[in-house]
Amino acid sequence: MPTQAVRINPDGTVVETKVTVRKSQHEDVRWIALLGGGPWKITFDKDANGSPFSMTEYTVGPGGSEGSTGGPVGGVVGKTYKYNVRNAVNNQVTDDPDVDVE
């Protein structure tokens, strides 16, 4: 299964502010904490669209990675899914990137 990488800088901002996953290819997203940064919490709670994946929240440990599985099972082709990257310790939002489903 193809995977799109989203790298999270040590300050919680992401390098890839928008990624596209193909539903027909069951593409997943893997969030990667760079240079020992984190822990980070990925939350699909910004709007009514929710999450295109099977879960609405993912936790990335310090310097680690975490990802979706099974592709965008709940995603609708043509929609953009907005999410927050949060500091997992104090819940502060550090960035607000997007996932497009095609």
What Rg do the C-alpha atoms of the chain give, in angstroms? 12
pLDDT tier at 72 (50, 70, 90 boundaries)?
A: very high
pLDDT at 69 over 70: yes
Tell me the domain boundaries of the chain. 3-101
pLDDT at 92 over 80: yes
CATH superfamily of 3-101: Cupredoxins -  blue copper proteins (2.60.40.420)
Q: Which amino acid is at 87?
A: N
Whole-number percent of the chain with pLDDT over 70: 99
**Edge-to-edge strand ranges of the sheet holding 65-67:** 3-8, 28-33, 65-67
C-alpha span between 30 and 84 (Å, rounded): 15
Q: Is beta strand 80-82 parallel, antiparallel or unpaired with respect to 40-43?
A: unpaired
Token pair 């990675």 is found at: 65
CB 71 within 8 A of CB 52: no
Percent of the chain with pLDDT over 90: 94
pLDDT at position 1 over 80: no
pTM across the whole model: 0.95
pLDDT digits 0-9 by tens, 38-48? 999 999 998 88
Burial class (CB in 10 A: 0-12, 13-18, 19+), 38: buried
The pLDDT assigned to 47 comes to 87
**pLDDT of 71 higher than 70:** yes
Contact 19, 82 (CB under 8 A): no
